Amino acid sequence: MNRPPTVAVLTVSDRCFNGEATDTSGPALCDIVRVELNADVIKTHCVPDEQEHIADELLHWATVEPRPDLILTTGGTGLAPRDVTPEATKQVIQRDHPGLIQLMQLRCYEKTPRTFLSRGVAGAIDRTLIINLPGSKRGAVESLEAILDILPHAIDILRGDPGDHAR
């Protein structure tokens, strides 16, 4: 990776948005990308579990400077009726990348079979990669850690740097 990646973290939670709970997963994700990817976290925000709010924030972040290389969402990926982060993400991505989620679930399976209850999606808007992670701190951290090794290469490719991909 030529330069450190830029990352944005969007927490999706009615309770955090309303001040009824403290966001622990968003800050934990920020810490991990700073340490493991040497990333610059350029944006963080919390929105309620409302599809339009989520979609608007993702689209704004991915299209208005400074655009992050990677947007991580945490929350809203489960089975509850208000868990609409995947639908909001599908609404705005231009190209989906289900393989990232499949790898994440495969690698997390040994720790918890519940990984398959998460409905997160991954995809890109222009040169920004978006990945949905679970809302619990443990779920978000374990899911991100499961794919950290391939994220630098994915970001390089999205940036237009083919590296060894051109071979």
pLDDT in tens, 65-107: 999 999 999 999 999 999 999 999 999 999 999 999 999 999 9
Span 17-40, mean pLDDT?
Answer: 97
Kindly tell me if the per-residue pLDDT of 54 is higher than 70. yes
Give the pTM: 0.95
Q: Let me know if residue 165 belongs to a domain.
A: no
Span 8-25, mean pLDDT?
Answer: 97
Q: Let me know if residue 1 belongs to a domain.
A: no
Q: Let me know if residue 79 belongs to a domain.
A: yes
Backbone CA torsion sign across 38, 108, 90, 166? positive
CATH of residue 32's domain is 3.40.980.10
Kindly tell me if the per-residue pLDDT of 167 is higher than 60. no
Tokens of 139: 């779920």
Residue 141 identity (one-letter amino acid) = V
Q: Which residue has the tokens 């808007």?
A: 125
CB 46 within 8 A of CB 32: no
What is the count of structural domains for the chain? 1
pLDDT given for residue 139 in this prediction: 96
Report the alpha-carbon distance of residue 123 to residue 85 in Å, rounded. Answer: 13
Q: Let me know if residue 29 belongs to a domain.
A: yes
Residue 2 burial by Cβ neighbours in a 10 Å radius (0-12, 13-18, 19+)? exposed
Residue 118 belongs to what domain range? 6-160
pLDDT given for residue 31 in this prediction: 98
Q: Let me know if residue 126 belongs to a domain.
A: yes
Report the alpha-carbon distance of residue 70 to residue 94 in Å, rounded. Answer: 15
Tokens of 167: 């071979």
In this predicted model, what pLDDT tens digit does every residue of 108-121 receive, in sequence order? 999 999 999 999 99
CB 125 within 8 A of CB 59: yes
pLDDT given for residue 59 in this prediction: 98
Kindly tell me if the per-residue pLDDT of 164 is higher than 80. no
Tokens of 44: 């963080």
pLDDT given for residue 161 in this prediction: 74
Segments in the chain forming alpha helices (H): 14-17, 25-36, 51-63, 85-92, 98-108, 137-147, 151-159
Per DSSP, the three-state class of 156 is: helix
Q: Let me know if residue 166 belongs to a domain.
A: no
Q: Let me know if residue 167 belongs to a domain.
A: no
Mean pLDDT of the chain: 95
Q: Let me know if residue 97 belongs to a domain.
A: yes
